[in-house]
């Protein structure tokens, strides 16, 4: 049976294992109006990721994949950081959070003020040319639909997000593994922990003797490895955590 805890237990764990490394997923952005992927209202309930978010699909039908990402960009247009993003940025400023590793491509952690941020699945904010390396903003790319072509060499541009079948950006995943293996505590927020290699990062922390805490609506495969599991809103929980952890004194 899944044992659940309150914010006081999480605050105590962070306090005694500071600074912690935070790993976030789409569940930290749903309160900004951006749907996640695997919950009942998730994106993959409506779209097959292999048809719309794989590198093979992009190569075979770039217009179809760009149409999908155009819709996702439209859903991000009005999105603002929420209490969860802001709480993590504040906890970093106070010294309780060393870094945020995020699977999200929406850019909301950066806009909330997180500084030591590792975007392991890239960013939807830009698109690049695989041939000559030219990069444009997504707004510019949207103006070039159905298939944006590179302004320099004419090849098809691709959104700068990691698609299924692609390797993660080497520097980003290398940094994420290093942070995870050195963390005294990893706090996972809003992720189903179903997609590797990112889902393996908490295991790096545990293998090195670090502790794990999870804030997520719904179960994850690592709940029984966590010292603290909170099944509640990421925004409310992180805001309460920030209230419980004032300025950190070394």
Binding segment (CB under 6 A) for ligand APR, from list 10-18, 54-62, 65-73, 212-220: 212-220
Given 17, 85, 109, 121, which residue is catalytic?
121
Alpha carbon 18 to its chain centroid, in Å, reads: 21
Instruction: Transcribe 187-240 into DSSP letters.
Output: EEES----STTGGGHHHHHHHTT-EEEEE-SS--TTGGG-SEEE-S-HHHHHHH
State the DSSP H helix or E strand holding residue 185, giving kind and residue range, or none if neither.
strand 185-189
Nearest to 201 by CA among 26, 37, 38, 23: 23
Binding segment (CB under 6 A) for ligand APR, from list 71-79, 85-93, 180-188, 216-224: 216-224
Q: Are 154 and 181 in contact (CB under 8 A)?
A: no
Q: How far is the CB of 223 from ligand APR (least distance, A)?
A: 11
Total chain residues near ligand APR (CB under 6 A): 23
CB atoms within 10 A of CB 131: 13
Q: How far is the CB of 33 from ligand APR (least distance, A)?
A: 11
Is 81 a residue that touches ligand APR (CB under 6 A)?
Answer: no
Is 190 a residue that touches ligand APR (CB under 6 A)?
Answer: yes
CB nearer to ligand APR: pick between 236 and 248: 236
85 is a catalytic site residue? no
| Contacts (CB under 6 A) with ligand APR, residues 144-163 | none
Q: How far is the CB of 26 from ligand APR (least distance, A)?
A: 4
CB atoms within 10 A of CB 207: 11
Is 86 a residue that touches ligand APR (CB under 6 A)?
Answer: no
Sign of CA dihedral 22, 26, 28, 29: positive
Is 218 a residue that touches ligand APR (CB under 6 A)?
Answer: yes
Instruction: Give the footprint of ligand APR on this chain (CB under 6 A).
Output: 25-27, 30-31, 36-39, 42, 49, 103, 121, 190-192, 194-195, 216-218, 233-234
């Amino acid at each position: 049976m899944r044992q659940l805890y309150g914010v006081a237990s999480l605050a105590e764990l962070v306090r005694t294992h500071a600074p912690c490394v935070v790993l976030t997923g789409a569940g930290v952005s749903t309160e900004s109006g951006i749907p996640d992927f695997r919950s009942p209202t998730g994106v993959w309930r409506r779209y097959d990721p292999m048809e719309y978010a794989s590198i093979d699909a992009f190569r075979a039908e770039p217009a179809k994949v760009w149409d999908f990402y155009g819709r996702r960009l439209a859903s991000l247009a009005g999105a603002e950081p929420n209490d969860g993003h802001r709480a993590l940025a504040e906890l970093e400023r106070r010294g309780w959070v060393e870094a945020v590793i995020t699977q999200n491509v929406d850019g909301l952690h950066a806009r909330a003020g997180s500084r030591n941020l590792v975007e392991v699945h890239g960013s939807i904010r830009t698109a690049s040319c695989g041939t000559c390396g030219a990069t444009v903003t997504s707004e510019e790319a949207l103006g070039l639909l159905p298939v944006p072509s590179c302004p320099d060499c004419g090849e098809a541009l691709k959104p700068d997000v990691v698609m299924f079948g692609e390797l993660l950006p080497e520097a980003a995943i290398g940094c994420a593994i290093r942070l995870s293996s050195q963390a005294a505590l990893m706090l996972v927020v809003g992720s189903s922990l179903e997609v590797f290699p990112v889902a393996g990062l908490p295991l790096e922390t545990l293998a090195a003797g670090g502790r794990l805490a999870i804030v997520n609506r719904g179960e994850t495969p690592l709940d029984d490895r966590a010292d603290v599991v909170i099944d509640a809103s990421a925004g409310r929980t992180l805001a309460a955590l920030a209230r419980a952890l004032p300025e950190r004194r070394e």
